[in-house]
């Protein structure tokens, strides 16, 4: 009878203890195991089968450690949102599903296959469960792979339990117990971030040096390089050490962990800009804009980073993105000028031409945009269009000497003699052909003088020197076409323009132009002298002495020019002086014959 009472008491005790035992072992952490994205659509079914098996295996192995969301509940939630049970969710969709199920830990990743096996790269995103890490598993079949993933998930769940215990002990100030719990977790999962981060927090409690904290955080990154907490820990501790460069790199990596957090991205980009980390700043902005395109403030910040760092191609791309996103910007002259300047630095002729056209169209009365469009046309090889736009800009303000010189220079640069035909006429000694070609060519060059003349009388000496250089270019071209009588007026004016201002004016750009001008003046004056000389000999008596004096003065001036400019081509200079000597020898006879007393 006493034995029966003892058995009854034991049975009642066991029944009474059962609810308490069940309450103790009931898991509080939840994990949502989802199918992985696939490298090939053909592997979609394999992904579903693999993760279904992994879910079932984890449920069996860790029944009392974690509440694995069953597939039925997943299907119910998906179908309520209009999805099928076996859909492969993107990262953002997986996060939304986890929130709807009140789960803070879920799996994402990628399944790929080669000829021999399947490979799954899995990331567990988590809140406070300690499950978060990245791992890779392989298997020759979905079944084998699912078994391997289930086993690994179970291992992570067990290790995370010790990591949570570490945090609990640390919160109580029990540093040694916390470290012991962390070591248990690390034995099970050497790269579990939660364990290493708990070690870092204990080190902080123990006032360990920054290097110890940094090393603990670096070990946490091995398990998940996209975990924001270790990067933030490293950044702060590098700042404590005074290592700004490494701190900036850590902040950069921190921002990359969550590019959808635009506020963090902007703050980090601004920090990188302040510390002249322009390349990283641009890379961060570009990465963030791929996820949130059209963010004006972020794009403007990227433009500033790129331009201050002379990263012209990224700056051009960011300007273009900004322009496409905001219809008001084509009418923003400051924005357009910035975009144009960046594309000039690359140079991207297509984009530069499009922006310049846009500027000229949006601001039709703007001289600067008209000139810019001309420059873009010139860079693109559309010379006729460039000249038309430069002329249009000059007509807007004919007092703008610099624009006039720009028109003249562009025109002269692209007025070219047909040397093949010209040389053919020379070989044939066809003087008519040569004369006609020279005259036509001189007419084209003469059309430039309208834009050049204001520069020759500018009060600014630098402008006058520029005008003189352009005049030298034009006049020498005419002389090379053997239209010496047409080149002479150009060179006569130019020689006066660059005449010495004092005996000491013998160096510098004016002297260089003066020497070249003297040579071409001596050549053109000598070889075109016969016409005026002949006219003088047949002139009426009333004016023949005046003309004779002009010829004599011209001969003397030409000689002086050849003495200075002959060094450009000494042999030619001597030949011209020889011709002049014959004219000069005739002048006393002319003086006697005409009875002139004025020279």
Give CA 27 to chain center in angstroms. Answer: 53
Question: What percent helix, strand, coil does the chain show, rounded to 5?
Answer: 70, 5, 25
Q: Would you list the DSSP string of 254-306?
A: HHHTTTT-HHHHHHHHHHHHHTT-HHHHHHHHHHHHHHSTT-HHHHHHHHHHH
pLDDT, residue 94, reads 94
Cα–Cα distance, 336 to 502 (Å, whole number): 48
Cα–Cα distance, 252 to 309 (Å, whole number): 17
Give the CA angle between residues 542, 545, 548 to the nearest 5°: 135
| β-bridge mates for residue 68, sequence order | 31
Give the CA angle between residues 424, 426, 431 to the nearest 5°: 115
* Tokens at 477, concatenated: 């071209």
Residues 324-348 have pLDDT tens digits of 999 999 999 999 999 999 999 988 8
pLDDT, residue 12, reads 35
Q: Are 237 and 214 in contact (CB under 8 A)?
A: yes
In 3D space, the residue among 176, 170, 137 whose CA is nearest the CA of residue 156 turns out to be 137
What burial class does residue 492 get, using C-beta atoms within 10 Å of its C-beta: 0-12 exposed, 13-18 middle, 19+ buried? middle
Question: What DSSP character marks residue 152?
Answer: H
Q: Are 376 and 385 in contact (CB under 8 A)?
A: no
Q: Would you list the DSSP string of 542-559?
A: HHHHHHHHHHHHHHHHHH
Reduced 3-state DSSP string for 400-413: CHHHHHHHHHHHHH
pLDDT, residue 348, reads 84
Is the dihedral angle over the CA atoms 309, 310, 313, 319 positive or is it negative? positive
pLDDT, residue 18, reads 42
pLDDT, residue 6, reads 29
In the block, which residue shows the tokens 């003189």?
468
Question: Could you list the pLDDT tens digit for every one of the 599 residues in the chain?
Answer: 333 332 333 333 433 444 444 445 678 899 999 999 999 999 999 999 999 999 999 999 999 999 999 999 999 999 998 999 999 999 889 999 999 999 989 999 999 999 889 999 999 998 789 999 999 999 999 999 999 999 999 999 999 999 999 999 999 999 999 999 999 999 999 999 999 999 999 999 999 999 999 999 999 999 999 999 999 999 999 999 999 999 999 999 999 998 988 989 999 999 999 999 999 999 999 999 998 888 999 999 999 999 999 999 999 999 999 999 999 999 999 999 999 999 999 888 999 999 999 999 999 999 999 999 999 999 999 999 999 999 999 999 999 999 999 999 999 999 999 889 989 888 888 889 989 998 999 999 999 999 999 999 999 999 999 999 999 999 999 999 999 999 999 999 999 999 998 888 889 999 999 999 999 999 999 999 999 999 999 989 889 999 999 999 999 999 999 999 999 999 999 999 999 999 999 999 998 988 899 88
Q: Would you list the DSSP string of 181-206?
A: HHHHHHHH-TT-HHHHHHHHHHHHHT
Residue 566: how many CB atoms within 10 A of its CB?
Answer: 22
Candidates 1.10.8, 3.90.25, 1.10.3210, 3.40.50; CATH matching 30-158? 3.40.50
pLDDT, residue 126, reads 80
* Tokens at 470, concatenated: 């352009």
Cα–Cα distance, 314 to 321 (Å, whole number): 10
* Tokens at 16, concatenated: 């009474």
Cα–Cα distance, 127 to 91 (Å, whole number): 15
């Amino acid at each position: 009878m006493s034995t029966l009472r003892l058995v009854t008491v034991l049975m009642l005790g066991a029944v009474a203890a059962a609810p308490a035992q069940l309450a103790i072992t009931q898991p509080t952490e939840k994990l949502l195991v989802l199918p992985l994205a696939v490298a090939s659509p053909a592997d979609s079914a394999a992904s579903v089968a693999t993760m279904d098996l992994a879910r079932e295996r984890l449920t069996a192995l860790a029944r009392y450690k974690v509440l694995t969301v069953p597939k039925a509940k997943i299907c119910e939630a998906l179908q309520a949102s209009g999805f099928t049970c076996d859909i492969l969710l993107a990262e953002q969709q997986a996060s939304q599903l986890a929130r709807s199920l009140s789960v803070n830990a879920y799996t994402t990743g990628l399944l790929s296959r080669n000829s021999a096996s399947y490979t799954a790269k899995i990331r567990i995103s988590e809140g406070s469960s300690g499950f978060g890490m990245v791992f890779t598993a392989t298997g020759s079949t979905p079944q084998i792979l699912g078994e391997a993933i289930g086993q690994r998930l179970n291992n992570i769940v067990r290790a995370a339990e010790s990591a949570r215990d570490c945090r609990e002990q640390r919160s109580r100030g029990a540093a040694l117990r916390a470290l012991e719990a962390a070591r248990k977790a690390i034995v099970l999962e050497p790269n579990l971030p939660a364990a290493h981060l708990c070690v870092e927090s204990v080190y902080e409690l123990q006032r360990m040096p920054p290097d110890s904290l940094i090393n603990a955080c670096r070990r946490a990154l091995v398990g998940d390089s996209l975990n924001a907490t270790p990067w933030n820990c490293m950044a702060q501790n590098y700042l404590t050490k005074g290592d700004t460069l490494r701190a900036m790199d850590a902040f950069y990596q921190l921002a990359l962990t969550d590019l959808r957090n635009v506020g963090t991205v902007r703050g980090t980009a601004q920090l990188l800009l302040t510390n002249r980390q322009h390349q990283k700043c641009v890379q961060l902005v570009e990465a963030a804009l791929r996820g949130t395109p059209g963010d004006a403030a972020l794009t403007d910040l990227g433009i500033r980073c790129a331009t201050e760092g002379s990263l012209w191609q990224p700056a051009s791309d960011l300007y273009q993105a900004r322009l496409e996103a905001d219809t008001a910007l084509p009418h923003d002259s400051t924005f357009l000028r910035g975009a144009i300047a960046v594309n000039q630095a690359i140079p991207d002729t297509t984009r530069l031409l499009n922006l310049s056209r846009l500027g000229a169209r949006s601001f039709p009365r703007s001289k600067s945009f008209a000139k810019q469009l001309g420059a873009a046309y010139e860079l693109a090889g559309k010379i006729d269009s460039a000249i038309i736009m430069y002329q249009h800009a000059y007509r807007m303000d004919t007092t703008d000497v610099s624009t006039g010189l720009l028109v003249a220079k562009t025109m002269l640069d692209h007025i070219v003699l047909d040397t093949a035909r010209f040389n053919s006429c020379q070989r044939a000694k066809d003087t008519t052909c040569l004369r006609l070609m020279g005259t036509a060519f001189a007419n084209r060059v003469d059309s430039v003088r309208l834009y050049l003349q204001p520069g020759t009388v500018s009060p600014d000496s630098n402008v006058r020197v520029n005008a003189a250089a352009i005049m030298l270019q034009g006049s020498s071209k005419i002389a090379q076409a053997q239209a010496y009588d047409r080149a002479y007026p150009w060179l006569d004016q130019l020689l006066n323009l660059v005449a010495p201002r004092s005996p000491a004016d013998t160096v510098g750009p004016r002297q260089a132009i003066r020497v070249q001008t003297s040579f071409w003046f001596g050549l053109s004056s000598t070889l075109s002298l016969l016409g005026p000389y002949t006219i003088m000999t047949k002139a009426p008596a009333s004016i023949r002495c005046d003309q004779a004096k002009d010829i004599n003065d011209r001969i003397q001036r030409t000689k002086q020019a050849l003495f200075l400019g002959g060094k450009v081509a000494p042999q030619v200079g001597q030949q011209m002086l020889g011709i002049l000597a014959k004219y000069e020898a005739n002048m006393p006879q002319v003086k006697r014959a005409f009875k002139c007393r004025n020279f």
